[in-house]
Structure 1
Amino acid sequence: MTRGPGGGDGRTERGGCADDRDIIARIIHADRYVVESIPECSLLSAPPAREKPLLTMREEFAAACVLYSRGMELAHGLFEEKRDLFPRDELAAWAVDTTESLMRNKAALLSLCKLRCGGDYLCSHSVNAAVLGAAFAMHLGVNRVFLPDFAAAGFLHDVGKLFVPEHILRYPGGLSPSQMEEMQAHVLKGQEFLRFWDDVSPIVLDGELDHHECHDGTGYPYGKSEGEISFTGRLLAVVDMYDAMSSTRGYRRQVTPFRALGFMYNERDSHFAPGYPQAFIRLMGVYPPGSFVRLSDGSLALVLEADAHAGLRPLVMRVLDREGRSCASDVIALGEREDLSVSGTLWKLPARLRRDAEERIGRI
């Protein structure tokens, strides 16, 4: 690990990452990946996803910021203020707007999932799971009519934690067996809560019930395996673990998005349904939008978008020079530069740097 720029708050992952990076790079460049047991064509009758976004990231970013803030307000309302009066119609409208933003330029909202990490984990995790869930469903070819349901499923997948004692949710260390039992009970409590809602989508119910089930049968609450797990549950299992690992939580060490993807790839034959981690990596890229990387010239950059044809060379925006000083917001397509590459990934960066990077995106 090396000291981070501008005061040493950031850390760089170098040694030990090469194997993960090579593995993930092979996935990115593979001609095919297999996702098993995808449901009937009622969900998957959409045309192939567009190769080129309708808007640039800069053009979509302001709308994405408003949407992310709206999502956080909804999450705070659900988990902290008025769960009995939760505005379900507002969630439905937000899910539609979120899906439309992702279809215009998915990188804008995806980057905010990392740029705005920190704060209340339960709320940010709900918003991130909604964004990632809809984006992943879109990537897998789900009909656009159903995409808002996947956003809602992500948003509500942990709703049962409303009924878990606060001291367990915020416990700063490993949970005891009895505490873990109470924590795991959030799934069935969430099912009970959602079934009181009128016309709740089966996609939402499936995602809430199955997102902790594992392909090898070691998950909970029912120990389902393989084909017993719903499509939404398989999808959200990937989304849930990725965001949980790469977010700040009081009781578990945060890792870089890159490292989270590497771990998930290693769990591809046990925790996840075959092909799902690989598909998610192709969606996010080796270095996901919103993550920070150190370039080979020593400068620090924010990843804007993955390059589908050059997985190790994303589109980035330089934010600090090699001395840790603020610099011009150069946008660099690493896939077009033979003299520049990613040399490391960073985490534990100051919140002010994330805020500054977010402001810069609107000006590029």
Structure 2
Amino acid sequence: MPLQRRQLLAGIGGAATLTVAGCLGDDDRGTTLWNEFEDAEEETLEEHLEVFNEGRDDELNADNIADMEDQLETAIPAGDGPGTFAWAHDWLGRYHDQEFGYDASGDLSLDLESEFTADAVDAVQWEGHTYGVPYASETVTLMYNPDLVDEPPETLEEMVDIMDDHHDPSNGQYGLSYPPVDPYFVSGYLHAFGGRIFHEDTGELGIEDDEFIEGLELLQDNLWEYVPEDPEYGSQMAPFNDGNAPFAINGPWQVGGFRDAGVDATLAPLPDVDGGSPTPYTGIQVWYFTAALEDADETTFETIMDFAEWYTTNEDVIVDNAERHGLIPVHQEYAESDDLGEDVETFIETVEMGTPMPADPRMDLVFTPLEEALERVFNESEEPAEAMEAAAEEIRGRWD
């Protein structure tokens, strides 16, 4: 997720707590999991934990962690990390290489292949190891304010016309709320003409390819002029959240927040592109198992395993996540359901347009240089091809 959702949710998601010491199992609190959910998702998780904990001696608690990636990088090697945490599948390869994951292949009572979709099963496995259990699929899609927009645009050209009508920065009004330089969010248009940030089949970087540059120019020419000057997530979300923008492009984690703010955020597929097709990154959400489980006591270990299996197969959890947050079920029994609401239907349509985020561990060295290069283009200090050439040189240097 966005550089990857890791930097942005900390800025918008309520009061985050930082608890690293003794978090795997604490005599006073029981066992603890980590997440970096936005407020609405965190509230739902707490409700589900209340149900899970009924009748259990070892209660499972949740800590909402700001900058969770950085905290995990410190806590897991020190033996202070959680036994499980929630994140998209794209960390799997890196965690395998760092030996941060716990292979639960022989511990799960679930048969993953018979319970979950094939893509979801693939997403939690790396080189024969199973490092978690999948619970949902997600991507970003178009959201519009029906008080400002009668019908969602079917083409990018139509969207530009509507943004033009509402864009008035001098009065605090904008055409679009959209983190303009976050690779995850803008991937749909960067990939629109067949380019890719990273070619997973060949292991080659793709940001210098002509097709990728064409996608970047599409962003530059059609979308960037309608967003606030500050590219940071909070600044970008404010106009739509305050009812001062007709459109946002965001994921299921943000839907509840917009609606809680009083905006009837309505979902639509990403608009078509002349001569191309939006192809956003998609992610499988996973309850990861960490190396902390290697030395966990039996009670803590069983609590973590019981929770992961319960959460990912429980009907109330699956339906709640779908209906309240637009998370797409990956459990086979619910993945093809037509009864989970319009939000899920729209996200499914957009996911089908997309491509899975690469889980190759080298991707961790791609996103920061790429985001910095996108910001230089956004700020008009470099041309697209020049910026991508510099970013590619930096990335390959890091790979070496």
Structure 1 length normalisation: TM-score? Answer: 0.26
Q: Which has the higher contact order (CA 8 A, sep 6+)?
A: 2
Q: Which has the larger radius of gyration?
A: 2
Compare the two structures and name the one with the higher strand fraction. 2
Structure 2 length normalisation: TM-score? Answer: 0.25
